[in-house]
Amino acid sequence: LDTYFSCNSTDYPPVTTLISKERILPYWNAGMVLAHVNTGIFSLTARALQNLLAMAKVRSLFVNDKLTELFFHQAVYSFTLLRSCPDGVAPLPYGMNYPLHLLHEDTSPPPLADVISIRYDNYFTQRKAPDIYKQVFSAYQDKLKPYWYY
């Protein structure tokens, strides 16, 4: 993701990650976003993805690098977001977009009552619902497995 920061002239302050408490430059996942429709952010991102994925050189980046494949859409979306929102962006509130795939690293996971939404990525491809959230996910595990489109 460092490449997309070098393409943007705006300085963005670091953010603190929820689980590991690391200070990192911000990037966004398009899965949990509130945006004004007039920004056109999703259309711009879709066009950027289509243009980039039409290039064999770009697609070749994914051949042996699953991490690049996983973060590619986030880098494209983040770059598009930063270029399209000159007034800035705000972090999601506590309990929103909780990273279920990092639950095993969280020393104090939020109680279910505090969770607004959960990001699960490929969690259900590799695991069953964790006991702490089993009542929510147990019936839907197979339907929640991811499907990649590029």
In this prediction, the residues of the chain whose per-residue pLDDT falls under 70 are: 1-12, 30-32, 141, 145-150
- Supply the Cα-derived Rg of the chain in whole angstroms: 17
CB 19 within 8 A of CB 109: no
pTM value? 0.62
Q: Are 79 and 8 a contacting pair, CB within 8 Å?
A: yes
Element (DSSP H or E) covering residue 98: strand 98-99
Q: Which residues of 15-45 are buried (b: 16+ CB within 10 A; e: fewer)?
A: eeebeeeeeeeebbebeeeeeeeeeebeebb
pLDDT confidence of residue 127: 77
Residue bearing tokens 């279920």 = 100
pLDDT score, position 148: 53
Dist. CA 59–CA 45, nearest whole Å: 17
